[in-house]
Amino acid sequence: MEWRTVVTIVLVVSLCFFMVPIRVEPDKNVEDAKLFANYIDRYNKSYKDNPEEYKKRFERFQRSLQHIERMNGFRSSQESAYYGLTEFSDLSGDEFLERTLMPDLSVRSQKHTRASYHRQHSTGSVNRVKRMPGILPKFDWRDKGVVGPVRSQESCGACWAFSTVGVAESMYAIKNGTLYPFSVQEMIDCMPGDYGCQGGDICSLLSWLLASKTEIISENDYPLTWRTDTCRLSKISAKAQRGITVTDFTCDSFVDAEKELLKTLAIHGPVAVAVNAMSWQNYLGGVIQYHCDGSFESVNHAVQIVGYDLTASIPHYIVKNSWGPTFGDKGYLYIALGKNLCGIANQVSSLDVA
């Protein structure tokens, strides 16, 4: 046997003992398809038996999985915001904006920045929010029993009405000691200008309620239908159990003045705010610190701020949303203080009721 042949045999045998195992990665599409099947069942999606729609939604779902992985990669601590699958994860960004948010809210809201009731607060930096004198380091109006349950706006784009009525309920409870549900549907149907489920804005609603002295009646008397209907207030109000009227309101900017916003929250009550919610599509919980544009031009949603926590490792606002109690942290989100994240300080409304 030639020496070359011997060497070759020895090398082949040696390689058998030193083989580097090759790891075969599982098919990503197969894994994603299993996740998607569970997702469809969990959220009772209607396109399960529609192959064309299924394919389109699966592609959007996979993009959401990539976005979720990217966003979770930015977490700086266990308290940071974390992301996962939500009922909106099968939508593209444009669809999420069109179906759930209000693309033209900044245009609607711009006129209020020139109104007589608008104030531009300015107190300088809020980088030392933990050392703010004059207010409690932690305050949550839910602990006082004056914040109602989280509602769901469903497919009706009336976050402006949900947030405003929610604050009105809290102000009534703070004043009278009783938390009582008032009618969001009345605002949807009766606010002039054909806003309804197509979108409106907080400041226009408050302006109309104050000027017209329109009474916000009980939700029991004027229940939610989640669609824009003909106003039935004149037929219902005579038999309504109780109602409230707005006696005063603000529509202010607290950009670079979040100290004053905290004082308003602690001393006066919850507030309704315009925000940019584009990055919330896959939010599950934790404090939002990054990638949430705060420019006025980007606002597209309305929510309530019901408290804050300066004692947390990431000082934050406590935000009540209107996407139902299964979204986020039982319907709530947390947004870091001091940087106008998500535009939370751009347009802030407080109100008084009688």
d(CA 163, CA 161): 6
Contact 354, 244 (CB under 8 A): yes
In whole angstroms, give the CA distance from residue 198 to residue 335.
27
Buried b (16+ CB within 10 A) or exposed e, 305-338: bbbbbbebebbbbbbbbbbeeebbeebbbbbbbb
Sign of CA dihedral 118, 255, 260, 124: negative
The strand pair at 332-336 and 287-288 is best described as parallel
| Interatomic CA distance for residues 66 and 60, integer angstroms | 10
DSSP result, 190-247? HSTTT-GGG---HHHHHHHHHHHT--EEBTTTS---SS-----HHHHGGG-S-EE-EE
- Output 323-332 pairs: Cβ under 8 A, ≥24 positions apart: 323/100, 323/152, 323/153, 324/150, 324/151, 324/152, 324/154, 325/149, 325/150, 325/152, 326/87, 327/86, 327/87, 327/283, 328/280, 328/283, 328/284, 328/285, 329/284, 329/285, 330/150, 331/150, 332/150
Which residues are 353's β-sheet partners?
246
Give the residue numbers marked as catalytic.
159, 301, 321
